C-alpha cells in the first residue's frame, strides 16, 4: 500500500534535500530534518551514501531516528566507531562532500548565525547554542546544505553574529580567508523554495518554488534581494513511494515530519 498525498511542507523539504545527495557521497549530518533526509536518501536513491556524525559514527545503517549525534544508533552496523577529532580530520582532508547546517539567521552569501541575536555579545537578546562543530564543518566540507523555515527574522541583510562562514562577502572571500577553493554553500531548502548560489556573485538565488508558492511569497519573507533563475522551476512533488518510506521507516513516530 502506498501513501497518498497530501504531504506537509516539512516532508517536501526532506524529500527535496534527499534528492540532492548522490549515491556514493559522504555527508556529515546532525539530528532532525538533515538526518531524516540522509536516511531517506540511503533507503531510496543513494544506498551507498556514507553518513557521518560529529561524535564519531561513520557509515551506519540507521534502524531508527537518533536523538543526538552521540546516540548509539549512529554507530549501528557502521564502518567505524571513532571520535570527533577523526570526523573533523576527515573533513580537513577534503574527503567529505556534504554537510547539513542551520542557524537562527542566514544572509545573502550563506553566512550563518547560530550564536546570538542582539548588539551586545555579553548581553544578547537571545543566546543560541553556539557553533559546536558548525564553523569547522562549514569551512571544510565541500558543499553546505541548509534546511530551515523561511521568514524575515532568519533571512536577514546583516547577521548579528557570523558563526559559520558562507561566501562571506562575495567572490574570492572564502579563498582569501584560507578556506578550500570551490567549497561553500550549495543549497538552502525551506518551506517555500529551493535556493542555490550564483556562480559569479555568490549571492543566494531562487532555483525552484514549491507547489502553490509564488515568488512574491518568498520575497516577502526575505530581507535581502534574491536573485532568480531565468527558467524558474517548480519543486518536484515527493513520489508516493518515497513518502511511504519517510513515514513508515524513517520517522514513524513523526518526531520531525509532525512539526
- Is the pLDDT confidence value at 5 over 60? no
Classified as helix, coil or strand, 220 is helix
Q: Report yes or no on 78 lying in a domain.
A: yes
- Report the C-alpha gap between 175 and 232 in whole angstroms: 30
Per-residue pLDDT, 31: 87
Q: Which residue has the cell 519517510?
A: 246
- Is the pLDDT confidence value at 258 over 90? no
Q: Report yes or no on 139 lying in a domain.
A: yes
Phi first, then psi: give them for residue 39, nearest 5 degrees.
-60, -45
For 26-44, write each residue's pLDDT tens digit: 999 988 999 999 999 999 9
Q: At 18, which CATH number?
A: 3.40.1080.10
Per-residue pLDDT, 244: 96
Q: Report yes or no on 255 lying in a domain.
A: no
Per-residue pLDDT, 205: 98
Nearest to 253 by CA among 39, 64, 69: 64
- Is the pLDDT confidence value at 242 over 50? yes
- Is the pLDDT confidence value at 1 over 50? no
* Section 114-132 average pLDDT: 95
Distance from first CA to last CA of the chain, Å, rounded?
A: 24
Q: Report yes or no on 87 lying in a domain.
A: yes
- Is the pLDDT confidence value at 153 over 60? yes
**242 near 11, Cβ under 8 Å?**
no
Sign of the dihedral defined by the CA atoms of residues 28, 31, 37, 39, in that order: positive
Work out the number of other CB atoms within 10 angstroms of the CB of residue 136: 19
Cell output for 47: 544506498
The active-site residue, picked from 54, 77, 200, 244, is 54
Per-residue pLDDT, 243: 96
| Strand blocks (E) in 94-183 | 98-101, 105-106, 112-113, 116-117, 126-127, 143-147
- Residue 207 bears catalytic tag: no
Burial of 108 (0-12, 13-18, 19+ CB in 10 A): buried
Per-residue pLDDT, 64: 84
Torsion angle (degrees, nearest 10) of CA 51, 55, 61, 65: -100
Sign of the dihedral defined by the CA atoms of residues 186, 222, 254, 239, in that order: negative
- What is the pLDDT of the chain when averaged over all its residues? 94
Per-residue pLDDT, 6: 85
Peptide bond into 28 cis (omega under 30): no
By residue range, what is the domain housing residue 123?
A: 9-250
Count how many domains the chain has.
1
**91 near 140, Cβ under 8 Å?**
yes
* Section 194-203 average pLDDT: 98
Q: Which residue has the cell 543549497?
A: 187
Q: Report yes or no on 46 lying in a domain.
A: yes
Q: Report yes or no on 30 lying in a domain.
A: yes
For 61-113, write each residue's pLDDT tens digit: 988 889 888 889 999 999 999 999 999 999 999 999 999 999 999 999 999 99
- Is the pLDDT confidence value at 3 over 50? no
* Section 192-206 average pLDDT: 98
Q: Report yes or no on 256 lying in a domain.
A: no
Cell output for 79: 564502518
Q: Report yes or no on 257 lying in a domain.
A: no
Amino acid at each position: 500500500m502506498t501513501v497518498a498525498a497530501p504531504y506537509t511542507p516539512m516532508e517536501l523539504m526532506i524529500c527535496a534535500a534527499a534528492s540532492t545527495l548522490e549515491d556514493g557521497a559522504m555527508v556529515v549530518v546532525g539530528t532532525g530534518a538533515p538526518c531524516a533526509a540522509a536516511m531517506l536518501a540511503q533507503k531510496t536513491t543513494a544506498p551507498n551514501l556514507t553518513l557521518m556524525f560529529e561524535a564519531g559514527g561513520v557509515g551506519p545503517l540507521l534502524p531508527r531516528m537518533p536523538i543526538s549525534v552521540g546516540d548509539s544508533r549512529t554507530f549501528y552496523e557502521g564502518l567505524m566507531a571513532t571520535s570527533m577529532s577523526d570526523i573533523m580530520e576527515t573533513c580537513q582532508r577534503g574527503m567529505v562532500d556534504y554537510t547539513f547546517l542551520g542557524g537562527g539567521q542566514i544572509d545573502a552569501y550563506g553566512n550563518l548565525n547560530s550564536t546570538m541575536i542582539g548588539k551586545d555579545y555579553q548581553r544578547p537578546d537571545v543566546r543560541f547554542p553556539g557553533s559546536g562543530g558548525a564553523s569547522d564543518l562549514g569551512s571544510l566540507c565541500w558543499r553546505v546544505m541548509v534546511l530551515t523555515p523561511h521568514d524575515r527574522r532568519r533571512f536577514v541583510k546583516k547577521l548579528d553574529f557570523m558563526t559559520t562562514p558562507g561566501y562571506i562577502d562575495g567572490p574570492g572571500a572564502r579563498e582569501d580567508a584560507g578556506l578550500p577553493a570551490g567549497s561553500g554553500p550549495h543549497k538552502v531548502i525551506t518551506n517555500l523554495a529551493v535556493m542555490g548560489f550564483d556562480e559569479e556573485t555568490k549571492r543566494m538565488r531562487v532555483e525552484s518554488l514549491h507547489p502553490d508558492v509564488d515568488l512574491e511569497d518568498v520575497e516577502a519573507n526575505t530581507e535581502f534581494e534574491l536573485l532568480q533563475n531565468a527558467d524558474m522551476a517548480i519543486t518536484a512533488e515527493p513520489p508516493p513511494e518515497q513518502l511511504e518510506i519517510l513515514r513508515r521507516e524513517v520517522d514513524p513516530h513523526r518526531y520531525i515530519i509532525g512539526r
